[in-house]
Amino acid sequence: MPAENYDQLYKQKLTSADEAIKTLARDTKLITFGCYCGTPPRLTRAFCEAAAAGYFRDTPDVYLLRSRKEIVDQFSNVDVLKQIKLLCPFLGGSFRHLADRAKELRQSHPDLIIPHYLPEHFSLYARGVFARHGKPNVHLFQVSPMDEHGYFSFGVDGSMSIPLAFEAGQIIIEANQHMPRTFGSGLVHISQVSALIEHNSDLMVLPKKVPSPEDHKIAEFVAELVPDHACIQLGIGGVPNEVGKRLKTKSDLGIHTEMLGDTLFELIQAGNVSNRYKQLNVGHTVFNIALFSNHDYYAFLDNNPTMACHPAHYVNNPHIIAQNDRMVSVNSFVEIDLFGQVASESINWRQISGSGGQLDFVRGAFRSKEGIAVLAAHSTAKNGSISKIVPRLQNIVTTPRNDVSYVATEYGCANLFGMSTSERAHALIELAAPQFRDELREEAKKLTIY
């Protein structure tokens, strides 16, 4: 197709946000959105306004992963929550606030529908949508501007957006000049698009947090485990961030990660990353989401052929992860018990986040040749008043004990793999804060594992 035809198609499909939403059938059953920077702010607002006005005849299911607060808040309108069923496979702070707000509003609006949480691994999010409903009627997401070949890039949102978009009955996009054009499998052609709008807005950024002394200490223990030529995945939080900062003494690192954040980006900028020694995607930094605290970082990704954004069902697939040698995975946890069971998404049975990709990467890194999977956290919470190492887990398990190997706190690092139940208990007690160790020993004796 000649290039001028792409421009003609573009003009034919370009419309306003309100008119784009009106292209949806009023009996639409399933609507999915891009996540993080992939959530289209202007289309989301138009969608919520249409839903509140009673546009949909039935009650469509709406899948919304994480996004920035001002976008999530658009769903907190009473009239919106009466008209849709919101489904969330990961609860961040904004979603928790939304769910709590919905529970309060339901007391005076009994027909309001409280958002539902979906327990799934990140690698299987899209598969969960298909298992529940089949193909989405429409996928709405934010993209980079169209290139000379008629393609838009998914930019920094591979996640579940790529598979959902290509299975959706309709694709509606919001072209944003601030979305970088990345390489990988996230490309959609103008001929595949049902409608598009143009709307320029700043991409989502994370607030910077001041690292604690505990973060520094834990990071020192973990960084010692990382060899040259390692392939890195770092999760979200103070400890993974500090680990990344300590890898600037390492050479020829590779990156295969769920989220590309500040510290991994800074390692690339510092020259520590070559991706030369990976077994898959040699020469490329592989991620499914990029999320920074600095707007300027996104610009580095634009048209950079080393930046490969792929969907979570590829990036987070343990069998794919394991094919890169010396894979190092670092993630955090909320609690671990003396048997080695790990809770990373809830507190006292209350969902605070999601399973995400933790177990995906724990299993993938562990099976990698010379790979290691580290779960790291402070030994205590609430200013030292609560131990994160507990006798028995009274919480939702994220990572089963059979999958746990390296565990790190500010008091050290231990590899639980190959240890007996009793040896695990001994090792974990040594990782606990000193003021809780005697109590943990007594509880371990009662459980006959000490």
**Catalytic positions, please?**
258
Sequential DSSP letters for 131-199: HHHSS-SEEEEEEPPP-TTSEEE-TTB-TTHHHHHHHSSEEEEEE-TTS---EES-EEEGGG-SEEEE-
Q: Are 194 and 170 in contact (CB under 8 A)?
A: yes
Residue with tokens 């920074």: 292
In angstroms, rounded to a whole number, what is the distance separating the alpha carbons of residues 318 and 11? 43
How many CA atoms are closer than 13 Å to the CA of 46, on its beta-carbon side? 22
* Beta carbons within 8 Å of 348's beta carbon, 6+ residues apart: 394, 395
CA dihedral sign, ordered 116, 119, 125, 126: negative
Closest CA to 28 of 63, 60, 52, 5: 60
Q: Are 388 and 333 in contact (CB under 8 A)?
A: yes
SS3 372: strand
* Beta carbons within 8 Å of 121's beta carbon, 6+ residues apart: 316, 355, 356, 357, 359, 360
In angstroms, rounded to a whole number, what is the distance separating the alpha carbons of residues 405 and 414? 8
SS3 241: helix
Q: Are 343 and 398 in contact (CB under 8 A)?
A: yes
